[in-house]
């Protein structure tokens, strides 16, 4: 599966966090049971109670800022796969904001627990979600409180299940023979994939692609929270249950819905600056210490650390 598709589908995993933040109300016994069953299917705890970078467990009921690691994984039988898309969300309810940081998969960093320096996306291949979490914590110097892992097969179905999305396109372009004209566009799942994947015809490069991916997230949230989408909850929940694993419990999600929904009003995407480098014939994305410290400081401030 192409990396653009992986990244798009991973961004869709944010629905697990951000739709809850929006505060879609739970109504009716049938919907309640479908949601609890879906969450039980998705729940996969990790072997720790608290991050080493926290002195005590956060309490969502007290509206404390928290972080989430989103991992997009292309899994095949007998192969754990690699997290080719890696996104960190920090959520601060008092500031009514979510910061979303995409970490380039080729970023060269220490792989915690494996004793090597390698591409950050290899952490998942070496040690699953737990090693990916530890590596991201070390790279960003912040605690990772929760993770959401998505198998990449499902997000196109998820977009289609809400009836497609509407975005504003600021650049006229073609991708794989599909014309995306400038202006307001309505996209189905396959079109959304193409829209998010284009990079080489955009003078902004990856920054332009990230902008389109953020548009897709926000448009998906809008559609996912609408009444017309809520009535399709069984289809949406089925897709989520089949493709997502997380250490968030149902009670955690209830607390997030209750105490954090205002944070969805301000979703800000952050970018990491770096340079390309070939080391021992292998391509890496190199992030300077100064750039890491800049990103770390911004996320720490948002988490009130």
Domain harbouring 85, CATH code:
3.30.420.590
- What is the Cα–Cα distance from 292 to 1, expressed in whole angstroms? 30
- What is the Cα–Cα distance from 229 to 217, expressed in whole angstroms? 15
Per-residue pLDDT of the chain (305 residues; tens, 9 = 90+): 455 544 444 454 455 555 555 444 445 555 666 667 777 888 889 888 788 899 888 899 999 999 999 887 766 556 566 666 788 999 999 999 999 898 888 899 999 999 999 999 999 999 999 999 999 999 999 999 999 887 755 667 778 877 888 999 898 888 888 899 999 999 988 888 788 778 778 887 666 776 777 677 677 766 665 544 455 666 677 777 777 888 988 888 888 888 888 887 788 888 899 998 999 999 999 999 999 999 999 999 999 99
Residue 205 lies in a domain: no
Residue 84 lies in a domain: yes
Residue 287 lies in a domain: yes
Residue 237 lies in a domain: no
Residue 201 lies in a domain: no
pLDDT for position 197: 73
Residue 111 lies in a domain: yes
CB 51 within 8 A of CB 68: no
pLDDT for position 221: 65
pLDDT for position 204: 76
- What is the Cα–Cα distance from 139 to 109, expressed in whole angstroms? 7
Number of domains composing the chain: 1
This prediction has a pTM of 0.75
User: Can you give the residue range of the structural domain that contains 9?
Assistant: 3-154+244-303
- What is the Cα–Cα distance from 41 to 26, expressed in whole angstroms? 18
Residue 208 lies in a domain: no
pLDDT for position 108: 96
pLDDT for position 142: 97
- What is the Cα–Cα distance from 200 to 204, expressed in whole angstroms? 9
Residue 40 lies in a domain: yes
């Amino acid at each position: 599966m192409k990396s653009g598709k992986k990244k798009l589908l991973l961004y869709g995993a944010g629905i697990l966090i951000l739709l809850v933040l929006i505060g879609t109300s739970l109504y009716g016994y049938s919907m309640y049971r479908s949601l609890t069953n879906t969450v039980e299917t998705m729940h996969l705890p990790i072997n720790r109670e608290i991050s080493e970078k926290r002195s005590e467990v956060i309490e969502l009921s007290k509206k404390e800022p928290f972080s989430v690691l989103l991992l997009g994984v292309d899994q095949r039988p007998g192969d754990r796969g690699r997290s080719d898309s890696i996104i960190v969300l920090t959520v601060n309810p008092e500031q009514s904001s979510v910061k979303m940081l995409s970490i380039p998969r080729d970023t060269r960093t220490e792989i915690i627990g494996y004793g090597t320096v390698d591409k950050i996306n290899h952490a998942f291949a070496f040690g699953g979600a737990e090693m990916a979490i530890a590596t991201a914590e070390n790279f960003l110097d912040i605690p990772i409180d929760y993770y959401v892992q998505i198998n990449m097969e499902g997000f196109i179905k998820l977009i289609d299940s809400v009836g497609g999305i509407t975005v504003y396109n600021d650049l006229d372009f073609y991708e794989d023979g599909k014309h995306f004209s400038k202006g307001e566009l309505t996209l189905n799942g396959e079109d959304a994939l193409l829209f998010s994947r284009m990079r080489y015809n955009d003078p902004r490069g990856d920054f332009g692609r990230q902008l389109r991916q953020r548009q897709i997230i926000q448009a998906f949230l809008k559609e996912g929270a609408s009444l017309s989408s809520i009535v399709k909850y069984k289809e949406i929940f089925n897709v989520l249950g089949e493709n997502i694993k997380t250490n968030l419990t149902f009670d955690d999600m209830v607390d997030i819905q209750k105490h954090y929904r205002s944070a969805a009003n301000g979703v800000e995407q952050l970018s990491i600056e770096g340079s390309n480098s070939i080391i021992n014939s292998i391509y890496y994305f190199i992030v300077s210490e100064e750039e890491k410290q800049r990103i770390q400081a911004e996320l720490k401030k948002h988490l009130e650390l």
